[in-house]
Amino acid sequence: MSAETELREQICLLAKSMFDRGLTGGSTGNISARTDDGGLLVSPTGTSFGRLDPGRLSRFDAKGNLIGGDQPTKEMPLHSAFYDTRHSAGAVVHLHSCHAVAWSMMPDADADDFLPHLTPYAIMKLGKVKLLPFFMPGDPAMGEAVRGLAGKRSAVMLANHGPVVAGKDVEAACNAIEELEETAKLAIILRGVRALGLSDEDVRNVVTRFDVEWDD
């Protein structure tokens, strides 16, 4: 089995796993990953994470030309923005996960540090998550907003829409976006309760111990 064939199957396997567990529904969400030749494999537009076909993934060459498969997701500007500004990015995932979207609607959500510091794991996998304002689906301005972060964030939350996360590879990106959703779920469950989250010192220790990108 070639490396690209293996990557195609991994993308579809991970996407189906997230779909089956209710992390994104219907034909929502999109996923992409770098190929060994510098190109991209991307989920096609209008497709379900539960039914992706490895042979029909959109295939781009290293110059950004579509050379095979179906037409790509309309959210390509989001994916391109992460790849262009974060050279460590090997994959990008975007979901419409319920609890993250719900937390983005809370009036007290911190736009610069979207997730409350409840456990160390979101900090370790995501660093700070930037909350971006609402954009119409498919609006290229979403990509421009990500570019405006100059590669300083691996994850953003699109208000009233869903999270977008870049990782070193497709497995890392999927693990990180799942941690984002789980932390948002905890935040929703604990809303209105005087829960004891991590202290500032705890956060600093996690950032130092696990060499997390963390801009103060």
Contact present, 92 and 154 (Cβ < 8 Å)? no
Long-range contacts, 103-112 (Cβ 8 Å, 24+): 103/157, 103/184, 103/187, 103/188, 104/131, 104/157, 104/158, 104/159, 104/160, 104/161, 105/159, 105/160, 106/191
Report the distance separating Cα 15 and Cα 26, nearest Å.
12
Spatial distance between the Cα atoms of 127 and 194, rounded to a whole number of angstroms: 24
Closest to 167 (Cα-Cα) out of 15, 34, 3: 34
Query: Which alpha helices (H) appear in the chain, and where do they start and end?
Result: 3-20, 76-85, 98-104, 120-126, 141-147, 170-190, 200-209
Total residues belonging to the chain: 216
The amino acid that residue 41 corresponds to is L
Cα–Cα distance, 95 to 182 (Å, whole number): 13
Q: Is 54 exposed, middle or buried (0-12, 13-18, 19+ CB in 10 A)?
A: middle
Residues with catalytic annotation?
A: 75, 121
